[in-house]
Amino acid sequence: MRSAALRKYIGLFVAALLSLYLPGAAAQSAAGDDALAPYRDTGLAAKIAGRKPVATWVRGVVAYPSGDDSPSWYVDSERRVVGTRDGLFELKRGKLMAMSKADTRAQQRRLAARTEVPPSHIRVFGDPAATDRRELLLFTAFDCGPCRELEEVLQRRGDELKIELHYLFDSLDNDEATQQQLRNVQCAAKPFAAFERLADGDSVPATPHCTIPLYATGYAITLLGAPYVPYLIDRHSGQALHWDGDEDALIEALNGETAE
């Protein structure tokens, strides 16, 4: 009993401290409160408060009682935004409130604008002498339903668009065997087929000398509700251009684009 009461008072104390740092008043969202109740029980608010002075983008993992369901989160310390698998929430006066759909989209664009392709990945894919002019590089977590839609478009119009797809998968929350399978997809000669094979529960054979690393950039985007971070890479110039829009707009653009 004493332990429970102590935790309660500590929680109230942390909330009071947060209210000093987080200006702005708003009514607490019932949806946000319900969705994030487990996170507060594991001390999420205290962790956010402790990490506030650090860099703009912060990642952390909270120990979750149910084991395999360990939630991950990131914090935008400028906007006091918390991204979790339950959605996007904003900290106001120490309370976690669900963000509107419009604000969520805006936050996705803010994060995407800060997410740059590592220089070491700009030129590693494909043959520079290949006929495909561009590559579509997707930073993504494995659970990417719209990726199949993209694949269908590129399979249907690949010769015309001259775009080759490559995946860079997130390495978090996967065991070593799954991570190896994701590397195999990344290195496969036909990533479309390899991705679908893995998504259907089949094993993907390894590619000799596959050194493409798994990367964690895309994971922060998936926490915001976007399934992947797309970059179009021009093989001739080596320039990587981030697609500033949602996945539906990208698919629509690819469907309507004419070959150069």
Among 138, 134, 80, 145, which Cα is nearest to 107's?
80
pLDDT at 240 over 50: yes
Which numeric CATH code is attached to 119-256? 3.40.30
26 close to 93: Cβ distance less than 8 angstroms: yes
C-alpha distances in Å from residue 197, one per residue of 59, 189, 226? 31, 13, 23
Report the sign of the C-alpha dihedral through residues 98, 102, 103, 107, in that order: positive
Report how far residue 196's alpha carbon sits from residue 111's, in angstroms, rounded to the nearest whole number.
28
Q: Which of 10-14, 175-179, 187-191, 201-205 has the highest mean pLDDT?
A: 201-205
CA–CA dist 189, 125 (Å, integer): 11
Indicate the DSSP class of residue 55: -
Q: Check: CB of residue 117 under 8 Å from CB of residue 145.
A: no
The domain segmentation of the chain, as residue ranges, is: 2-100, 119-256
Q: H or E stretch including 39? A: helix 37-41
Range from 15-29, 67-81, 138-152, 184-198 that averages highest in pLDDT: 184-198
Higher pLDDT, 57 or 38: 38
Q: Is the pLDDT of residue 47 over 70?
A: no
Answer yes or no: are the C-beta atoms of 100 and 90 closer than 8 Å. Answer: no
How far from each other are the two terminal CA atoms of the chain, in whole angstroms? 71
pLDDT, tens only, 49-74: 433 322 222 232 222 222 233 334 44
pLDDT bin (cut points 50, 70, 90) of residue 31 is: very low
pLDDT beyond 50 at 24? no
Tokens standing for residue 114? 């800060």
Among 220, 246, 243, CA closest to 81? 220
Assigned token pair, 197: 């094979």
pLDDT digits (tens, 9 = 90+) for 91-110: 666 555 667 767 766 665 66
Average pLDDT of the chain to the nearest whole number: 56
Checking if the pLDDT of 147 tops 60, the result is: yes
User: In degrees rounded to 5, what are phi and psi of residue 91?
Assistant: -90, 120
